[in-house]
Structure 1
Amino acid sequence: MAHIVVLGAGLGGSIMAYELADEIGKGDTITVVTKDPTYHFVPSNPWVAVGWRERDDITIDLAPTMKKKGIKFVTTAAQKLHPEENRLELIDGSSISYDYIVIATGPELAFDEIEGLGPHGGFTQSVCHIDHALQAKVVFEELKKNPGPVIIGAVQGASCYGPAYEFCFILETALRKAKIRDQVPITFVTSEPYVGHLGLDGVGDTKGLLESEMRNKHIKWMTSTKVKKVEDGKMTVEEINDDGSSKGEKVLPFAFSMMLPAFRGIKPVSGIEGLSNPRGFTIVDQHQQNPKFKNIFAVGVCVAIPPMGPTPVPCGVPKTGFMIESMVTATAHNIGQMLRGEEPSNVGTWNAVCLADFGDSGIAFVAQPQIPPRNVNWSSQGRWVHLAKIGFEKYFMRKIKKGTSEPFYEKMGMSMLGINKLKAVKKG
């Protein structure tokens, strides 16, 4: 009889619990620990920020589904993990003992690393959380009343670039629909060495596709750029040359800005020797297992992955939905093996599949594996991506609500490649 704790109930944690429920034996138990009792579909946050979705459209109360699956659901935040004691301390002073624990917390958002950044006392907006997106919506409504310059992008050390591009183009579409696009100059500011790098050194022709889309939509861009500080209505940035030297600083005015921050691990699992790296991300091997504490696994954005290579401004590697899903499946099977007295042998595929919605079109890409060189390196664009993103949102929400463990990202990736082959046949 084993007790397995899943810390976190976002994309990785919720499906982690569902897949574990299919692996455990009679008498084994699962407890999910989370500070937020509701699941919200993060990929829809850019739509929320321009008023195309409301909170209730993309949130699910997890308690009924967890109960149906026989999973204990604790909605109290973690205080500190004590791996030597196999104990998770909660902020209310209580503790939960475990035989195995899966860390699936997602990241802490490092707004504080740049003066004036972020929605918590800063001057920029975010789409990393539903609460942030709703606050951004309020500021966006003010922008429509008083149009002015807009800055969208991702700061140095960020490891999630897709939502920045998505929001930039979604905002541009929303401004056109409001018939004020001509009054709103848009600048995309990013730490990436080139547009479409995405922390992945590009996928297919993401560089060409995104640059072309920006030119068509009259969006200016600045790459290899650090954000030095943000003040009310102005952002100080520094462009960096390929050799690391400075091109100089600029002060950019804005009426609205959304900048994605760098990530780090959450405090309850940070600063533990052998478990976390200096940024607080959890160290795992190819089996998603921590090398020092063999009964600790981790999945999702909280996992430590080294950057792809040196860039003039630091860029992290994203953990996409497909990658997270493959981590989850491997972890569930590996814990199942250990419960049966076997050695873990499952390895995640770590592929990337992405639908980047632009409001009325979009770009899709498949990278297998996520880190080059790749067996598949494909990207495409069109209105079909926008429609596919809507369908994906509805399907995934249904999956979370029903508590199914069906792997969807892989099917989606294969479907997109099938569409591409069909197009190629028709052209031929």
Structure 2
Amino acid sequence: MAHIVVLGAGLGGTLMALEMRKEARKTDTVTVISDYPTFHFTPSNPWVATGWRTPDAIKVELAPMLSKKKIGFIQSAATKVRPADNAIDLANGETVTYDYLVIATGPDLAFDEIEGLGPHGGFTQSICHVDHAANAKEKWEEFCANPGPIVVGAVQGASCYGPAYEYALILDTDLRKRKIRDKVPMTFVTAEPYVGHLGLDGVGDTKGLLESEMRNRHIRWITSARVKSVSDGVMHVEEVAEDGSVKQAHDLDFKFAMMLPAFRGVSALQGVEGLVNPRGFVLADKTQRNPNYGNVFSIGVCVAIPPVANYPVPVGVPKTGFMIESMAHAAAKNIRSLMDGEEPRHEATWNAVCIADFGDGGVAFVAMPQIPPRNVNWSAEGGWVHLAKVAFEKYFIGKIRRGVGEPFYERAVFDMLGITKLKEKA
């Protein structure tokens, strides 16, 4: 009999727990630890931040759902992971021991690395968490009553760019619906070396597609941007040349701003030698297993992945839903292999599929594998993308509410490729 602990209950942790319960033996125990009582569908946060969704519409209560699947749940933050002792210390005073651990914590949001950044004590909003998005929605309504300039984007070291594009273009759509778009100059600020890089060196023609969208919607952009600081109503940005010198300094006025922060490992993981890199991301091999602690696995945003290339402004690599789902599938099977006395052999595919909604259209892309060179390098745009994301959201949340962990993103990618084939035949 083994005790498998999943630390974290976001997209990765929730799918991991459901997958592990299927792979584990009847006598094994699976426990989820999370500091938050609900799962929430992070891809819908831009909609929450504009009032197109309520927070409750994208949340699932974890305890009852997991209980139905015979999975334990502890609601508490972890204060320290001690892999040498097979133990996790919790903020509620408990210490939980395990035979196998899957770290799926997601990231710590490093707002504090830039003065004035973030929703707590800073001057910018966030869509990284549903609570941040709900707060942004309140600020958005205040802004729309007295509109002015907007700045949206992602700072240096960020590793998630799709939501920034989504939010900027959804805001544009919402402003046009309100008939106040003409009163709102908008600037997109990103660490990426070019529009549509996405931390992946582009996928298909994402550069051309996203540049075209920004031009058509009168959104200016600054790439290779380093945000120096944010003060009340002004963002101080350096545009960096290829040689690392400052090409131009910008002081961008705003009445509303949302900037995605850089990520780092959560505090419970920081400084654990052999487990994490200096940034606090978990070290893992191709089987999602830590090279130094053989009973510890990791999936999702907390996994250490090197950037596609080195740029004058740091650009991280995203961990998309497809990749995270694939990691969970491989990790569950490999833990079962270890319990059966076999060596892990299952590897995540590390492919990327993304449905980026722009409110009245969107861009979808598929990268197989995520890091180039690729076997599949495809992107497309159209109103169907918006409809696809709405349908996918409903499908995914419904399945999670019923405790069904299936290859959601795998189905989505094949559906999208199928749509492409149908278009080619038409």
TM norm. shorter chain > 0.5? yes
Look up the SS of the partner of 2:259 in the other structure. strand
Shift of 1:269: 1.3
1:364 is aligned to 364
SS at match of 2:273: coil
Partner of 1:334: 334
> What residue number does 1:166 align with?
166
Deviation of residue 248 (structure 1)?
A: 2.9
Determine the structure 2 residue equivalent to 1:193.
193
Instruction: Report the CA distance between 1:232 and its aligned residue.
Output: 0.4
What's the TM-score once normalised by structure 2's chain length?
A: 0.99
Note if 1:45 corresponds to 2:74.
Answer: no
1:307-326 → structure 2 map (5 Å cutoff): 307-326=307-326
Check if 1:256 corresponds to 2:256. Answer: yes
Q: Which residue of 2 aligns with 1:298?
A: 298
Does residue 381 of structure 1 match 2:378?
no
Instruction: Give the distance between the partners of 1:329 and 1:399, measured in 2 at CA.
Output: 17
Question: 1:267 aligns to what?
Answer: 267
- 1:353 Cα shift? 0.3
Which SS does the other structure have where 1:269 is aligned? coil
**Partner residue of 1:34?**
34
Q: Distance in 2 between matches of 1:158 and 1:229?
A: 15
More deviation, 240-249/191-200: 240-249
Which is further off, 122-131 or 87-96? 87-96
SS at match of 1:380: strand
Q: TM-score, normalised by structure 1?
A: 0.99
Secondary structure of the structure 1 residue equivalent to 2:372: coil
Q: Give 1:388-427 correspondences, 5 Å limit.
A: 388-426=388-426
Q: Provide the residue aligned with 1:101 in structure 2.
A: 101
- Letter of the aligned partner of 1:26 in structure 2? K
CA distance in 1, matches of 2:103, 2:252: 39
Deviation, structure 1 residue 398: 1.1
The alpha-carbon deviation at position 335 of structure 1 amounts to: 0.5
Deviation readout 1:154-193 (Å, 9 max, x if unpaired):
0000000000000000000000001000000000000000
Partner residue, 1:218: 218
Shift of 1:311: 1.1
Aligned to 1:146: 146
User: How much has 1:369 moved relative to structure 2?
Assistant: 0.2
The CA deviation at 1:26 is 2.4
Partner residue in 2 for 1:65 = 65
Aligned to 1:240: 240
More displaced 10-residue stretch of structure 1: 55-64 or 255-264: 55-64
Amino acid aligned to 1:264: R
Letter aligned with residue 346 of structure 1: H
Q: 1:39 & 1:255 partners in 2: Cα distance?
A: 32
Question: How big is each residue's C-alpha offset from its partner over 1:399-420, in whole Å with a ceiling of 9 and x where there is no partner?
Answer: 2111112111011101111111
Secondary structure of 1:259's partner? strand
State the partner residue of 1:120.
120
Deviation at 1:62, TM superposition (A): 1.1
Partners of 1:85 and 1:183 lie apart in 2 by 59
CA-CA distance at 1:243 after TM superposition: 1.3
The one-letter amino acid paired with 2:289 is Q
Where 2:333 maps in the other structure, the secondary structure is: helix
Question: Which segments of structure 1 move beyond 2 Å, counting only runs of 4 or more?
Answer: none
Could you tell me how far apart the structure 1 residues matched to 2:125 and 2:26 are? 47
Tell me the matched-pair count: 426
**Which letter does structure 2 place at the counterpart of 1:220?**
R
| CA deviation map 1:29-64 (0-9, x unaligned) | 011000001011111110011110111111110111
**2:233 & 2:199 partners in 1: Cα distance?**
28
Give 5+ residue unaligned stretches, structure 1. none
The Cα of 1:196 is off from its aligned counterpart by: 0.1
Q: Structure 1 stretch 190-199 or stretch 71-80: which is displaced more?
A: 71-80
Q: CA RMSD in A?
A: 0.6
Q: Report the more deviating stretch, 228-237 or 133-142.
A: 133-142
For 1:93 and 1:415, how far apart are their aligned partners in 2? 47
Q: Paired residue for 2:131? A: 131
- Kindly provide the CA deviation profile for residues 253-304 of structure 1, in whole angstroms up to 9, marking residues without a partner as x: 0000000000000011121111000110000000000000000000000000
Residue 25 of structure 1: how far off its partner (Å): 0.9
Residue aligned with 1:366, SS: strand
Q: CA deviation at 1:421?
A: 1.2
- CA distance in 1 between counterparts of 2:399 and 2:277 reads 33
Map of 2:12 onto structure 1: 12
SS at match of 1:268: coil
